[in-house]
Amino acid sequence: MVQKFRGAALFLLAAALSVTSAHAQTLKVVIVNAQKAVADTQEIKKAQAELSAKYQSRQQAIEALQNDLRQIQSQLQGPNLTPAKEQELTLDGQQKQKKLQRLGEDLQQDFNQDRAEVLGRAGQRMQDVIKKLAEEKNLDVVIDTSNTLYHKPALDMTAEATSAYDKAYPVTGAAPAPAK
């Protein structure tokens, strides 16, 4: 199946190139690293800082639970531990472990959902910006770097796409400082 797809793709590319050469035109091709172009936008940088700030308190709660569990483990390994105290610590540790797992899963799910929304919106906007740039520059083809094995650096317009994105979708307000 993949072989047929590759063969068809190569055939179409060869056909496009032969039609282009038959009309004595030059095929205008550029390369864009769409993932990098999106990641380098001011909007994404601001969103990363906002997401970090939004989830900082939940991350701190997880870290506090992890510290509690380490202390419980340390106490369980200590000398002169009565059976009653061992049972109490074990029960407390199990409850905190369950809570830690639940908090971690909830945090990961919420973060991934927010991140996907931001990246989805920014990715669609970047496609629109690249399309507009291609039309303005009268380009025939824009190829993502994930689909290339080699290209000359002069063909790369990733930075130009990021700059055009930032102009089309300016960020309002300063991004908060990333949490440490």
Structure tokens at 148: 């290339």
Mean of the per-residue pLDDT values of the chain? 87
**Residue 62 belongs to some domain of the structure:** yes
Residue 174 lies in a domain: no
pLDDT at 80: 86
Residue 176 belongs to some domain of the structure: no
Q: What is the percent of the chain with per-residue pLDDT over 70, rounded to a whole number?
A: 83
Q: Which of 9-13, 34-38, 162-166 has the lowest mean pLDDT?
A: 9-13
Q: Considering the chain, what percentage of its residues have pLDDT values greater than 90?
A: 77
In a domain, 44, yes or no: yes
Dist CA 125 CA 34 (whole Å): 11
Split into its structural domains, the chain has a count of 1
Please give the model's pTM, rounded to 2 decimal places. 0.71
pLDDT at 25: 75
Range of the domain at 13: 2-168
Residues 32-61: tens digit of each pLDDT: 999 999 999 999 999 999 999 999 999 999
Tell me, yes or no, whether 180 lies in a domain: no
Does the residue 103 lie in any domain? yes
Q: Determine the Cα–Cα distance for residues 93 and 48; give it in Å rounded to an integer.
A: 33
pLDDT tens digits along 84-131: 999 999 999 999 999 999 999 999 999 999 999 999 999 999 999 999
DSSP string, the chain: -HHHHHHHHHHHHHHHHHHHHHTTPPP-EEEE-HHHHHHTSHHHHHHHHHHHHHHHHHHHHHHHHHHHHHHHHHHHTSSS--HHHHHHHHHHHHHHHHHHHHHHHHHHHHHHHHHHHHHHHHHHHHHHHHHHHHHHTT-SEEEEGGG-S---GGGB-HHHHHHHHHHHSPPPSPPPPPP-
| Residue 74 counted as domain residue | yes
Position 123 in a domain: yes
